[in-house]
Chains A and B, each alone.
Chain A
């Protein structure tokens, strides 16, 4: 019977060395909640798993930065992020989203890095973190680089990470003055994978929308930033009329896809409704002080 090798490096550097091969059956393993399902279903058969559990503890740190932003170590569990006082203060939209992300058992083991690296467009954190302007610090054999989360995904279950590259940290810029919301919509059971996820962030200055980030996930092949919707909002007074214009722009520009959760056509209509609702909710939530 074919087995596989499970290795436990003690440092990030060592992990990168162990991953430095062209062989796609050599993969990092953080919480394992996504990987094990793929292995059980037979869609992924590893030759070597590199367990990141033993690398330097700093990679699991969750902390506020001096300028009003956040740093989330890739090995931080979702539960750790959910319960962090710093996260609650700087980006309350994250703990709110966590409440409906999987369940307590999964959140206790799944890691931020694994959630982003998996490339599944149904995940909740990619839209949330990208709407907050988040970036990932990525380390690999060729050194370190930064990638905006909105550009991390290249397709359905695909990322721009190359073999051997590891997400080390998530960096969120200062959130002062930004109001955010995340809404997901399921069409079967309440705990189903979403048919649609919409994350919005607005910067309101003198009663007008100065800047915005609007992200759609799940209904599209990959996480997508809705530039036309954002343009429709620029300089507008927040309110029903402006939100409806943004929603229509979103519905026109997003390339939704068919699946068991709904037709592309229906998801476009859901998107139109949910962009409006998410914008209104962001305003209700108010800007981070």
Chain B
């Protein structure tokens, strides 16, 4: 740009304090929970008490008789507004309210609407339903062959070409059977020195955003406005418009601040329900879930992973992966997890012969979707535990064994896509160096035994996806950024403003970020899978460049010489004779992508970028009780060039601690499909006392050449290595191997006892 800028570049790479921090800590930030509009009705949901059953009858009369109840609504009433009320991003399988059948405990069956939320809560307890109970299935492996069938017919959404072959498939719980074939695995097994096989399992957990899901729909004249705590406003608009058979422009979705998301608030959660209710009763309708209800809304996939590897001369020559994902009663985004994460199941290793089968299963549990890592932590847990076990068996140092097999820059990953800008080795070596791996290690005394472990993982960005951004430079030279990326606490507003600041040469703090409002902000696929920094970041940079180019053109048209000291404000003044006008820069970004061959799963361009993360831990095991204490945790990632190092660091510690909870104790426990610990009193997440005694977060020197200012996503990368690093360290400390999460003290204790005989 030729127009002189008031300050030099240097916005990117600076730890700009979070733009919204003051608003949040002083309680001024706006959340949907605080939003009240005139005439609003509150909703309380009546939920299924059986895991699988046909609805025989629903009795709402007693609830309707409660004074103050405005209306009670069931699934059949919803049909008056939407004849085919089934939604979902991959499958149109989820009814707005249950129709004919219920498929999990906690499934919404009816709702009470009242002006007073306490009246609604009391009345909902008076609703009764009769079910003809059907045999349920809860386990993902049993679901493959079980007599119990959750959905009689598969209903893929039709938007994904790789789901087309599933249309109309009957009497199966397999929602997606993804496969990849590369080389000849059987031949590799036959020619190997040794073959190793293990099975690893993970449990179902929950996102526990501190702000539970909440949505408010306001009917207008041939229009509808939805205020919602959503990570995907554009998707919500498109899906609600599809359900109603309306054009997109009649549905407006507004998203203020979010109190956490972690993947729980993607796609449709409460929006379809409040939209239908608002249109049915022609009044604004709000639904705020309790923490308890979130456990029945969305969760993280439980999984089983069978992994088999052949080794010859210390090199892994073949690997067969069979992964079963417990998707619960509705597919949500599970089939994407199955495929988009599934193809990385062999791990960041250079293996010529690979076979992957990854299955999305329906079961009678609450649905599972995306949770910080999109399935990757489940995979890394298995392949990095497996890697350590092989190294141990072969009596090779686990770091050395990884070095021998690591996937180097330029080599092809299982899909056939060459690794580019993927600092896998650098991440491994960074952790190894920090932990002084080659130095002697204090192994503890008495009942306290010490051990250490390392694990690395990687993830492909979900593709192809689009982001659009607008930068508006106003008459006085100040500017705003319009985008539908949702800042749910990860700091995207600040990072995106930094990109605008860097490109326009203005201070980040002076860029105003306009929060998602689909009437105002342009399309974005969703805030998920660490895609925003790269995709939206590129779109924002293009939008800012577009604005800058127009400012340059304006200067030229006004006859000013290149390098003029006229700022944007002066240009507008000179052109319009007063403070007036504006310049709108638009940026739209979609990366190149080649979809994998349906038969082989191969593609030479399967992702626009790779995320790399690893963890090393030093731990102490109390051999008398099984308690594990993390003395030290080292997390390292390749996130390209960090736009804001401080935010990256908090993303690393946050991701690692979240995964620490999933690793050590978080677990949704069940009794015949009922979650028995669905509250914060009984479902424990890590607190301040659970932090490792020492935690270090490292950003390795790297650059994502195709990213905005060399950056790429980082919200999930520090989750990858945590679980297997800890299991590997436990093995190192006390010689026992846990293959099922969570790694509770009792599990460790029992393994130690079993080993002693």
Indicate whether A273 reaches chain B with its CB closer than 8 angstroms.
Answer: yes
Question: Given the interface contacts A2-B122, A260-B677, does A187 sit within 8 Å of B744 by beta carbon?
Answer: yes
Residues from 668 to 725 in B contacting A, C-beta threshold 8 Å: 669, 676-677, 679, 681-682, 684-687, 689-690
A window 191-239: CB within 8 A of B: 191-193
Within the complex, the shortest CB–CB distance from B417 to chain A, in Å, comes to 40
| Contact across chains for B119 and A260 when beta carbons are under 8 A apart | no
**Beta-carbon contacts under 8 Å, A133-190 to B:** 185, 187-190
CA distance A191 to B684 in the complex (A): 8
Q: Does B122 lie within 8 Å of A189, measured CB to CB? A: no
Pick the most buried of B122, B681, B686, B749: most chain A CB atoms within 10 A of its CB.
Answer: B749
Minimum C-beta distance from A266 to chain B (A): 5
A1-B119, A273-B624 known; A190 and B676 CB under 8 Å?
no
Closest residue of chain A to B119 (Cβ to Cβ) is: A1
> SS class of chain B's interface: helix, strand, loop or mixed?
loop
B68 at the interface (CB under 8 A from A): yes
Q: What 0/1 readout, one digit per residue, does chain A (243-286) give for beta carbons within 8 Å of chain B?
A: 00000000000000000101100100110010000000000000
For the complex, is B86 an interface residue (Cβ under 8 Å from A)? no
Q: Find out whether the CB atom of A269 lies under 8 angstroms from the CB atom of B122.
A: no
Contact A191 B687 (CB under 8 A): yes
Residue of B nearest to A277 (CB): B624
Q: Using Cβ atoms and an 8 Å threshold, which residues of chain A touch B116?
A: 1
Q: How far is the CB of A240 from chain B (nearest CB, A)?
A: 12
Residue contact B684 to A189, C-beta cutoff 8 Å: yes
User: Are A189 and B661 interface neighbours, CB within 8 A?
Assistant: yes
Determine if A189 and B676 form an interchain contact, defined as CB atoms under 8 angstroms apart.
no
Bound complex: CA A1 to CA B68 (Å): 8
In the complex the two chains form, is B687's CB within 8 Å of A190's CB? Answer: yes
Residue in B68, B687, B746, B750 whose beta carbon sits within 8 Å of that of A189 in the complex: B687
In the complex, A260 Cα to B665 Cα: how many Å? 11
Residues of A within 8 Å of B, CB-based: how many? 20
Contact residues in A for B685 (Cβ distance below 8 Å): 189
- Known: A1-B68, A260-B677. Is A189-B744 also a contact (CB below 8 A)? no
B600 at the A/B interface (Cβ < 8 Å)? Answer: no
Across the interface, which residues of B come within 8 angstroms of A10, CB to CB? none
A189 and B67 alpha carbons, distance in the complex (Å): 43
Interface centre among A2, A185, A192 (most CB of B within 10 A): A192
Distance between A246 CB and nearest chain B CB, rounded to angstroms: 16
Which chain B residues (42-83) contact chain A, with CB distance < 8 Å? 66-68
Residue numbers in A under 8 Å from B689 (CB-CB): 189-191
Contacts of B510 in A (CB 8 A): none
In the complex, what residues of A have CB within 8 A of residue B666's CB?
Answer: 188
Q: Is B625's CB within 8 Å of the partner chain A?
A: yes
- Min CB distance B657 to A, Å, is 11
Segment 719-757 of B: residues with Cβ below 8 Å from A: 744-746, 749-750
Residues of A with C-beta under 8 A to B119: 1
On chain A, the residues within 8 Å of B661 by CB distance are 189
A6 CB within 8 Å of chain B: no
How many Å lie between the Cα of A188 and that of B747 in the bound state?
12
Known A1-B118, A1-B122, A260-B682; contact A188-B744, beta-carbon cutoff 8 A = yes
A241 located at the interface, meaning its Cβ lies under 8 Å from any Cβ of chain B in the complex? no
Q: Looking across the interface, which residue of chain A has its beta carbon closest to that of B745?
A: A187
Assess whether A270 is in contact with B684, with CB atoms less than 8 Å apart: no
User: In the bound complex, what is the Cα–Cα distance between A189 and B669 (angstroms)?
Assistant: 16
A36 in the interface (beta carbon within 8 A): no
Contact B676 A266 (CB under 8 A): no
Contact across chains for B687 and A187 when beta carbons are under 8 A apart:
no
Min CB distance, A279 to chain B, in Å?
A: 15
Residue in B66, B684, B750 whose CB lies within 8 Å of A188: B684
| Binary contact track A7-45/B, C-beta < 8 Å → 1, others 0 | 000000000000000000000000000000100011000
Instruction: Decide if B746 touches A262 in the complex (CB within 8 Å).
Output: yes
Query: C-beta contact mask, B623-661 vs A, less than 8 Å → 1, else 0?
Result: 011000000000000000000000000000000000001
User: Which residues does chain B contribute within 8 Å of A269, judged by CB atoms?
Assistant: 625, 749
Q: Within 8 Å CB of B624, what residues of A?
A: 273
Evaluate contact between B681 and A37: CB separation under 8 angstroms. yes
* Nearest CB in chain A to that of B68: its residue: A1
Closest to B682 in A: A260
Query: Which residues of A lie under 8 Å from residue B664 when comparing CB positions?
Result: 188
**Assembled-state Cα–Cα distance A41/B661 (Å):** 25
Cα A191 to Cα B665 in complex, Å, equals: 12
Kindly name the residue among B661, B665, B679 whose own CB sees the greatest number of chain A CB atoms within 10 A. Answer: B665
B677 and A189 form a contact (CB under 8 A):
no
Contacts of B690 in A (CB 8 A): 189-190
Question: Least Cβ distance of B130 to chain A in Å?
Answer: 22
B665 touches A188 (CB 8 A): yes
Min CB distance B463 to A, Å, is 37
Please tell me if the beta carbons of B679 and A41 are within 8 angstroms of each other in the complex. yes
Task: Kindly list chain B residues whose C-beta atoms are within 8 Å of the C-beta of A189.
Answer: 661, 665, 684-687, 689-690
Chain B residues within 8 Å of A37, by CB: 681
Instruction: Report Cα–Cα, A192/B689, bound state, in Å.
Output: 11
Report how far A134 CA is from B589 CA in the complex, Å.
Answer: 72
Q: Which residue of A lies closest to B123 (CB)?
A: A1
User: With the chains together, A269 CA to B66 CA distance in Å?
Assistant: 53
Please give me the residue from chain A that is nearest to B67 by CB atom: A1
- CA A263 – CA B750 in complex, angstroms? 11
Chain B residue with Cβ nearest A193: B681
Known: A1-B118, A187-B746, A263-B746. A273 touches B665 (CB 8 A): no
B118 surroundings in chain A (CB, below 8 A): 1
The 4 closest A-B CB pairs, nearest first, are A190-B689, A188-B665, A189-B684, A188-B684
**Interface positions of A (Cβ within 8 A of B):** 1-2, 37, 41-42, 185, 187-193, 260, 262-263, 266, 269-270, 273
Q: A260-B669, A273-B624 are in contact. List 15 more A-B contacts (CB 8 A).
A: A1-B116, A187-B665, A187-B745, A188-B666, A188-B684, A188-B744, A189-B684, A190-B687, A191-B684, A192-B684, A193-B681, A262-B745, A263-B746, A266-B749, A270-B625
21 pairs from A and B in contact (CB 8 Å cutoff): A1-B68, A1-B119, A2-B122, A185-B625, A187-B744, A187-B745, A188-B664, A188-B684, A189-B661, A189-B665, A190-B689, A191-B689, A192-B665, A193-B681, A260-B677, A262-B744, A263-B746, A266-B746, A269-B749, A270-B625, A273-B625
